Amino acid sequence: MFYKKDEKGYKSPVEGALQKTLVWGARTLMAEFKMKKGAEVPSHKHLHEQTGYVVFGKLMLNVGEESFMAEAGDAWCIGADVEHSAQILEDSLVIEVFSPVREEFIPS
């Protein structure tokens, strides 16, 4: 599967954030998140391991009992079923990979 940059197909999972699935396979799914300063990703957990990378921007990640200030070039891996949230401190672009595939993120 290949992806060619396209401005269509974004969804808004929370106010101030846009999510778009880029590619997926049998075991992983890659998504792009465009987030506005001031947006908040509420605390949640899911069965997927989640690995992320900040292309630009700044956000505070809260993972379990830890907090992490993520800026351009920083990355993380959140284990399956671990509670996490985020506060977006600057307009940000984040790429995340989920395993197993998040079926609800596959475009219809």
Does residue 37 fall inside a structural domain?
yes
Parent domain of 36 = 17-105
pTM of the model: 0.94
Count of domains for the chain: 1
Check whether 75 has a pLDDT greater than 90. yes
Question: Residue 52 belongs to a domain with what CATH number?
Answer: 2.60.120.10
Check whether 76 has a pLDDT greater than 90. yes
Does residue 93 fall inside a structural domain?
yes
Q: What is the DSSP letter of 80?
A: T
Write out pLDDT tens, residues 23-58: 999 999 999 999 999 999 999 999 999 999 999 999
Does residue 67 fall inside a structural domain?
yes
Does residue 10 fall inside a structural domain?
no
Does residue 69 fall inside a structural domain?
yes
How does residue 108 score in pLDDT terms, banded at 50, 70 and 90? confident
